[in-house]
Chains A and B, each alone.
Chain A
Amino acid sequence: MVGYGTQKKVTVTGAVSSIKGDDLKTAPVPAISNSLVGRTPGIISSQGSGEPGYDDASILIRGRSTFQDASPLVVIDGVADRAGGFSRLDANDVESISVLKDASAAIYGSRSANGVILVTTKRGKTGKPTVSYTFNYGLRQPTRLPKMLDAATYAEAYNEIEQTIYNRAPKYSEDDIRKYRDGSDPIGHPNTNWYDVTLRKTSPQYQHNLSVQGGTDNIKYFFSGGYQFQDGYYKNSATKYKQYNIRSNIDAQITSTFKLSLNLAARQENRRYPHHGSERIFNDIINGDPKAIAYWPDSKLPGLPLGDDRNPVVAVTDAAGYQRDDRTFLNGDLVATWNLPVKDLTLTGGFYVDKSNTFYKNWFQSFTLYDRDPATGTPIPRIYGPADNANLSENMNVGLGITANLRLNYAHKFGDHSLSGFVAYEQYNYSSDYLAAARSSFISSQLDQLFAGNTDKLTSYSNDGSGTETARQNYFGRVDYDFKGKYLFQFNWRYDGSQAFPPGSRFGFFPGFSGGWRISEERFFKEAVPFVDNLKLRASWGQRGNDRVAAFQYLASYAYGSPAVFGGNNPANLQGAYSVRTPNPNIKWEVDNTTNIGLESQLFNNKVNFQLDLFQSLRSNILTQRNASIPQYAGLTLPDENIGKVRNRGAEVTLGYSRSIDKFWFNVSGNITYTKSKILFMDEAASAQPWQMRTGKPVGADYVLYNAIGIFRSEAQVNSTPHLDGTKPGDLIFEDVNKDGVIDAKDKVRQTKSTIPSTIYGVTVAARYKNWGINMLLQGQGGNVAQYVYFASGEVGNFLQDYYNNHWTPANPNASGPRLYDRETIPSTRETNTYFLRNAAFLRLKTVELSYTLNKQSVKKLPFSNIRLYVSGFNLLTFDKLKYIDPEGQATSQNYAGWLTPQARIYNFGVNANF
């Protein structure tokens, strides 16, 4: 697949790679965005959270060249930015995914600078219908949970904090600690492992899919229906994900010159969560006090909250209410192709309707946790939850996108020359409407519907609503020329207009050129190196745009908001209005000048496959705010300005080997992508320290930290070394970078490490022997990738076992770690520093599938034409140095580690039967 058409791989002149739908199916995950990384070069992707329904991966193509949204454009069956996106497509419906990484993307104009992902769904084929049924059953568990202290050790840590940080008396007596340790007083001195009481060992997920594919010469069809279910990690989990999807792709040859295709797809995604968010829940069970009661041992009733109103064993259920996040997506396409009565010309017209509907509901009700009378042991119920007994908020968003295009295609062959191309017009408009309503003070929690709320309109009702509109209009085309299939040339372009920019500068021209030379088609070459089946050199250059910024920044306008209260004892909220922004009348899109040189080859009867791409992308006019140089006292609400400049360079290598020996077939293929971005210009403060400047550093190098260069071992050492106020032995030594004898903010250093890996790689191994098959993906990342792994521990917040076991004390002066902290109260934790910045490089067995196939040839009585049984896994093994949390996450210094739902390890069993 290429933009607006298909091309044979041998004649492709751009940097385009593809993944087959079948490969996606080997990963037993509901979100297929998780299945791309490692399978093809150029995709840099990671999964930040394992929460069902919110576990999609974030994807970058060839890294990040902008400070703005760097996510690629997704095109599904020829239409950009479709409702529902691609991540939740049923893997069984996907024919292939192609990635446009260079000038070949320029045909998508001002949305193409971050690369383009083209998704093609399956279509009918002429022949006997194939009915295919697939079932998967999987068991999920967190890949990793940090090991925390038990109650007795945590009590000791607490005492140590009181003494060493606050110079106060210890809180827990020797006797207390003994009881926490020996379990002799499970009521007064419990020892709770929050993971054990809150999480299941494994949680189920499953998936059904039934599809029919077939057709005649005149009518071809592909029908498919699927259902997926995924459970949360929790015991009595309120978290659940369900998905229903259907698709019908029909191609009808109406007359000999007229073809109509009708694609209809519908998907329903139902998400359910407890009232409390997963970040709170995971923060509670990781950092939660092991000295607190989960369930009272005698009454088995849940104990009092760890914080606010949260006892994790109850917070994960729907006792306090629930959140519902339902999304409906409908995609309808009608595409007509007419072979014009003029020779070599065809006309294609498409009309595409994308409808989305999201519904969110949050029900919060009172619930009971229990205290216990110490004298009698009687449970004392305590009501938690909303002060108004129960309340409900709901919101809906309906969106409608309509795309229409018309394309005139030309294809002609004369002698050794072939020429083809098209010109096209496309327009798109989108509108959405948002409506929200809430009621409070339900007298009972029996009915969780809006009408059942309190009838006092003044105090219990609230509502909200707004709308948006966007539009695009553009002209585009392509010319392909080749001579003897040897010399290849392509030119594509788009004249793209977006409503986001001011009148007069809405349209931009984005050209892409590419050429290829199939050296292997030259006679001299064939004679000289006969073992080379194919060798192609290709090069491309193009300009691509990025307009993913807030629209209308050229307008000076005002909005309602920030109301003020007046009225004394009879207060009223009176409407306010504010200036939305300081306008930028000159705003336009970012421009990406992209160059790619590639070499691809197949050798030894296609047994060896090799591909190399070198690329550079020079992004200018990057939209960013001058917030580093414009003083805040100027009072501006800064708009984006086209001032940034980034260079991004890199290389991709793919090497594959495949072989068939008798009944044994195997394929090993590895790919590696390296990208390095460098900020050539961005807004900097006039007198910032050179080592804190962004300019010269990669995009995403956001950590500005003190360099921790050791641990103070003695009072004398503290006194003789520059240090922050409050530093004591056991604190980290921060580097005095400017050597002025004082540690202050000037000594912070911008780190080269970021959450974006500079190297990403994958190795796929596939093999078949008789009826057995294996398909495996090893995937990893490296380079300057890091996570800020700091846990908010202290008097509120349990410690990592590792931290505690290695912390500095006067008795353990040579410890490998610093002293105990109480959250951000000591210099070592008050200031973010490199001690907590951990290398997030990893290699993991991302997916593995082992299968056995039975077919009619081997088992005559089989009611199926074939049946395939398989076991598969996801994230089964991980090798890394991060230790405490999953290295694929993206913990930054702003987010404490352990807030996000851990990524999943999945064990799966599946069956696929074809009739």
Chain B
Amino acid sequence: MNLTNKYISLLLILGLTGTACKKDFLDKKPLTEISADVFWKDQNLANAYVNTIYSQIGQGFTESWMSSVVDETYLTWSRGCEPITQAYITPSNLGRMNGAWYGNDYRNWGTVWANIKNCNVFFENIDKTTFTNTTLKNRLLGEVTFIRALEYFDLVSRWGGMPLITKSFNLDNVDDAAKMVRSTYKENVDFIVAECDKAAALLPVSYSGQDIGRATKIAALALKSRMLLYAASPLMNKSGVDPLVGYASPDAARWQKAADAAKAVIDQATANGYSLYNKYSDVKTNYTQLFLDKNNSEIIFDRQNFGSMHYLDQSNGPNGYGEWGGNTPIQEFVDDFEMVDGTKFDWNNPAEKKAPYANRDARLYATVLCDGDPWKGRPVEEHFNEVTENGTVVLRGGKDTKDGPSSWNTSKTGYNVRKFLNEAYVVDSWTFTGASAQNWIWFRLAEFYLNYAEAEYNLGNEGEAKLALNKIRQRAQMPLATESGTALWDKIAHERRIELAFEEHRYFDTRRWMIASTVLNKPATGIVITRKLDGTTEYLAHTGTPATLVEDRKFKEANYWLPIPQSEVERNAALKQNPGY
């Protein structure tokens, strides 16, 4: 063996053993993660952790709105509304109510619980963080306390009493979690209310700059008001109710707590610069901008967005504009808008039948796109024209009917939604988000006048109730309510339906008032509009024939509450299913 040979071999051996002797050769760390012990020391990272908790809060602008499972809208394409509207919901098929798809609503059972865990992990670790000022720490504590209460409210309002979990689990103690039982509805309400009080004490009344959108004291009070209003309602206070979904002892006095909580929101809000949005004297413009002018004086809490959370405009605009005509108002909803003089609209009134969209509560024009409404530079064309072709009279639909482009995106009701939509939106078939940056509003001031009106009415204080109700009617430039007794109640219920349309109130209102078995247990219908050769226009509604039928809807007693998902009941047999499933 020659010298070269030796060198080569030596080099080879040295080269190998040299690297091999490095002790930490296998001691790699993930380059994209920060270890837990370091993470919680840093206040900036703790702050970022709370940001993520915000990013998991529910929102309603998925392809299927919650309004499409109640008597507000109908969804043009199948996105899981039918199990609810046709009452075939089962523990293994909750449709869009257990996490609506195509646009994340963050309301899936697992997603909500995961965020509750995020909150619990925060509480367990935040004392390790070194803060340069305690204000930030208190604020973060208040924010997370509020969000955990909000997530609990989201579960409790849909499913009733939940297991109350205030610590995080790991592999060692997860078996304890698997044995938990549901706490009662009362225990859940008490927990949420107490957490709201705790949060309210820690949070500021408002923010500025890049903190706008964080939870405030008013938001915590608002959540408390809504919880107590629900808790006082008939569904939760009927005799013989399962304590998981109501109070063992019905008590009308709960309305007092609801009234106080609503009053607290109104008082605290108005004392701190919040007010009913009234920027434009024109009702339609004002009511339109209320939902587009972000964080205006009326907004108490919303999920902030900037163009990636949803594609609201693309999903819901009429097909004639290249949009998808998704959630479409049904005739029963349109009919409920009063005449501008405060009387009810009536199809049996020949003048009203001839021009059904004239002289209505102006909020109709800001809530629903009806045939002929101006929209993006032309009137909406939901009608059919009689035309003569080759000597015979045939019907040719307008641009926004099934004869327009992409007929599968045509509204089957003859209406499209207007509320929330941004008229400046340009069709964007790439991301579909385009200019759709609307925030999802959880709480706005108007609700609390109506919460207050409802609670005071139920306490027998009609004067107070009317005063609060008329705040809202006045802003809508509608005649003030003067009724009393059940007629007043009808006005209050009506006002919630109109003012808070599509904002995810109707689902809960029809349930807690126990009216779902009538109003949600009947067909949803639409309108057929024909422009005759003689120049007249015919509006066909409520024909009782297939021509105007949109969906035959059903509601069963059990549907007042959602079933607990089957897979979850299978994981823990002690987790009691809701009645009727």
- B31-A631 in contact (CB<8A): no
Residues on B with C-beta less than 8 A from A556 are 35-36
Decide yes or no: A406 and B405 within 8 Å by CB, A568-B212, A577-B45 being known contacts: no
Which chain A residue has the least Cβ–Cβ distance from B574?
A686
Which chain A residue has the least Cβ–Cβ distance from B32?
A466
**A-B contacts at CB below 8 angstroms, number:** 305
Which residues of A, 281-308, contact B by the 8 Å Cβ criterion?
304-305, 307-308
- A633-B180 in contact (CB<8A): yes
Instruction: Say which residue of A387, A429, A558, A830 sits within 8 Å of B33 (CB atoms).
Output: A558
Give the interface size bracket for A toward B.
35 or more
Residues on B with C-beta less than 8 A from A795 are 408
- B294-A558 in contact (CB<8A): no
Write the nearest CB–CB distance from A606 to chain B, whole angstroms. Answer: 43
Write the nearest CB–CB distance from A322 to chain B, whole angstroms. Answer: 14
- B36-A557 in contact (CB<8A): yes
Residues on A with C-beta less than 8 A from B426 are 387
- A558-B34 in contact (CB<8A): yes
Residues on B with C-beta less than 8 A from A796 are 77, 408
Write the nearest CB–CB distance from A285 to chain B, whole angstroms. Answer: 17
CA A725 to CA B90, docked complex, whole Å: 10
- A635-B90 in contact (CB<8A): no
Is A351 among interface residues, defined by CB-CB distance under 8 A?
yes
- B20-A425 in contact (CB<8A): yes
Decide yes or no: A336 and B178 within 8 Å by CB, A387-B430, A687-B573 being known contacts: no
CA A491 to CA B319, docked complex, whole Å: 72
Which chain B residue has the least Cβ–Cβ distance from A582?
B170
Which residues of A, 735-750, contact B by the 8 Å Cβ criterion?
744-745
- A631-B177 in contact (CB<8A): yes
- A576-B55 in contact (CB<8A): yes
**Most interface-central of B405, B546, B569 (chain A CB within 10 A):** B546
Is A255 among interface residues, defined by CB-CB distance under 8 A?
yes
CA A685 to CA B430, docked complex, whole Å: 41
- B304-A466 in contact (CB<8A): no
Is A467 among interface residues, defined by CB-CB distance under 8 A?
yes
- B168-A559 in contact (CB<8A): no
Contact pattern, B 201-241, Cβ under 8 Å of A = 1, otherwise 0 = 00000000111111000000000000000000000000000
Decide yes or no: A384 and B33 within 8 Å by CB, A564-B51, A575-B51, A744-B90 being known contacts: no
**Most interface-central of A171, A564, A629, A639 (chain B CB within 10 A):** A564
Write the nearest CB–CB distance from A537 to chain B, whole angstroms. Answer: 40
**Most interface-central of B27, B78, B93, B109 (chain A CB within 10 A):** B78
CA A334 to CA B78, docked complex, whole Å: 61
Decide yes or no: A338 and B25 within 8 Å by CB, A576-B48, A582-B171, A796-B408 being known contacts: no
- A557-B406 in contact (CB<8A): no
Residues on A with C-beta less than 8 A from B32 are 466-468, 559
Contact pattern, A 401-432, Cβ under 8 Å of B = 1, otherwise 0 = 00011100000000000000000010101000
Write the nearest CB–CB distance from B218 to chain A, whole angstroms. Answer: 15
Which chain B residue has the least Cβ–Cβ distance from A406?
B16
Contact pattern, A 540-581, Cβ under 8 Å of B = 1, otherwise 0 = 000000000001100111111111111111111111111110
- B52-A577 in contact (CB<8A): yes
Which chain A residue has the least Cβ–Cβ distance from B36?
A556
Residues on A with C-beta less than 8 A from B550 are 168
CA A466 to CA B55, docked complex, whole Å: 23
Is A499 among interface residues, defined by CB-CB distance under 8 A?
yes
Which chain B residue has the least Cβ–Cβ distance from A497?
B26
Instruction: Say which residue of B35, B118, B120, B213 sits within 8 Å of A565 (CB atoms).
Output: B213
Which chain B residue has the least Cβ–Cβ distance from A425?
B20
- A629-B178 in contact (CB<8A): yes
Instruction: Say which residue of B9, B428, B570 sits within 8 Å of A386 (CB atoms).
Output: B428
Is A503 among interface residues, defined by CB-CB distance under 8 A?
yes
Which residues of B, 36-78, contact A by the 8 Å Cβ criterion?
36, 39, 45, 48-49, 51-52, 54-56, 77-78
Which residues of B, 84-102, contact A by the 8 Å Cβ criterion?
86-88, 90-93
Write the nearest CB–CB distance from B330 to chain A, whole angstroms. Answer: 14
- B92-A745 in contact (CB<8A): yes
- A685-B567 in contact (CB<8A): yes
Contact pattern, B 415-433, Cβ under 8 Å of A = 1, otherwise 0 = 0000000000011111100
Instruction: Say which residue of A388, A563, A568, A632 sits within 8 Å of B109 (CB atoms).
Output: A632
- B12-A632 in contact (CB<8A): no
Residues on A with C-beta less than 8 A from B113 are 632-635
Residues on A with C-beta less than 8 A from B49 are 558, 576-578
CA A307 to CA B189, docked complex, whole Å: 46
Which chain B residue has the least Cβ–Cβ distance from A433?
B31
- A566-B25 in contact (CB<8A): no
**Most interface-central of B5, B48, B90, B295 (chain A CB within 10 A):** B48
- B304-A498 in contact (CB<8A): no
Residues on A with C-beta less than 8 A from B518 are none
- B78-A824 in contact (CB<8A): yes
Residues on A with C-beta less than 8 A from B214 are 566
Contact pattern, B 476-497, Cβ under 8 Å of A = 1, otherwise 0 = 0000000000000000000000
Write the nearest CB–CB distance from B444 to chain A, whole angstroms. Answer: 14
Decide yes or no: A473 and B51 within 8 Å by CB, A349-B12, A579-B118 being known contacts: no
- B78-A557 in contact (CB<8A): no
- B20-A473 in contact (CB<8A): yes
Residues on A with C-beta less than 8 A from B12 are 336, 349, 406
Is B121 among interface residues, defined by CB-CB distance under 8 A?
yes
CA A576 to CA B122, docked complex, whole Å: 13
Is A258 among interface residues, defined by CB-CB distance under 8 A?
yes
CA A688 to CA B567, docked complex, whole Å: 8
Instruction: Say which residue of A167, A387, A566, A725 sits within 8 Å of B210 (CB atoms).
Output: A566
Residues on B with C-beta less than 8 A from A580 are 33
Residues on B with C-beta less than 8 A from A384 are 429
* Known interface pairs A632-B113, A745-B92; 9 further A-B residue pairs with C-beta atoms within 8 A, sorted by A's residue number: A336-B9, A469-B31, A552-B29, A565-B213, A576-B54, A579-B118, A631-B572, A635-B118, A825-B78
B-side residues, CB < 8 A to A, are 1-2, 4-5, 8-9, 12-13, 15-16, 19-20, 25-36, 39, 45, 48-49, 51-52, 54-56, 77-78, 82, 86-88, 90-93, 109-110, 113-114, 116-118, 120-121, 162-163, 165, 168-171, 174, 177-178, 180, 209-214, 293-295, 304-306, 309, 402, 405-406, 408, 412, 426-431, 434, 437, 545-547, 549-552, 566-573, 575
Provide a sorted-by-A list of 5 A–B residue pairs whose CB atoms are within 8 angstroms: A305-B429, A566-B214, A571-B306, A631-B180, A796-B408
